[in-house]
């Protein structure tokens, strides 16, 4: 999961121990589908700072509530409002996450130096998705270098 640190950072999450945070505002169908269809209760997720001086993995969070409709899509005052969404046919979903651990910063530059991670989606040219799956072998490799 990628976030700009000025919106929500790993330090912000760390200040909310044992509290879940809704991961709302996703407005990309592929990211929505990853979150809605592939994230399971208890899944651990790398938390990644993007659009900053040192983008990279900065922590681990846990999925503590499965996907449900993102209420911001129904709020006409929200920047995430979607006039095509209805409560009967919501278009956008969010999960809730809980802080687990702050890690050392593993920059995108460092991630790219490992051949074991050369197929990792977040490292692909042109990737702008805020949510991407991590292969189990990639997950273990990164956990081992933490």
pLDDT in tens, 38-81: 999 999 999 999 999 999 999 999 999 999 999 999 999 999 99
pLDDT of residue 121: 93
pLDDT of residue 76: 98
pLDDT of residue 126: 86
C-alpha–C-alpha distance, residues 146 and 142, integer Å: 6
| Strands laid side by side in the 56-69 sheet | 2-3, 44-49, 56-69, 93-107, 20-22
Q: What is the mean pLDDT of residues 97-106?
A: 98
Element (H, E) at 110: helix 108-112
With a cut of 90, say whether residue 125 has pLDDT above it: no
Q: What is the mean pLDDT of residues 91-99?
A: 98
Residue numbers of the domain that contains 32:
2-145
- For the full predicted model, state whether its pTM sits above 0.85: yes
Beta bridge partners of 131: none
Q: How many domains does the chain have?
A: 1
CATH classification of the domain holding 43: 3.10.590.10
Give the pLDDT confidence of 1-52 residue by residue, as tens digits: 999 999 999 999 999 989 999 999 999 999 999 999 999 999 999 999 999 9
Residue count of the chain, please give it.
Answer: 146
pLDDT of residue 38: 96
pLDDT of residue 128: 86
């Amino acid at each position: 999961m990628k976030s700009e640190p000025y919106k929500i950072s790993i330090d912000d999450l760390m200040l909310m121990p044992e509290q879940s945070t809704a991961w709302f505002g996703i407005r990309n169908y592929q990211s929505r589908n990853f979150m809605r269809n592939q994230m399971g209760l208890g899944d651990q997720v790398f938390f990644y700072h993007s659009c900053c001086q040192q983008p990279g993995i900065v922590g681990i969070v846990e999925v503590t509530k499965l996907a449900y409709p993102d209420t911001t899509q129904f709020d006409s005052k929200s920047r995430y409002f979607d006039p095509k969404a209805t409560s009967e046919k919501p278009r956008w979903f969010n999960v809730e996450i809980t802080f687990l651990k702050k890690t050392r910063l593993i920059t995108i530059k460092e991630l790219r130096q490992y051949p074991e991670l050369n197929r990792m989606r977040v490292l692909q040219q042109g990737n702008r998705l805020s949510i991407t799956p991590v292969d189990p072998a990639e997950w273990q490799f990164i956990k081992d270098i933490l």
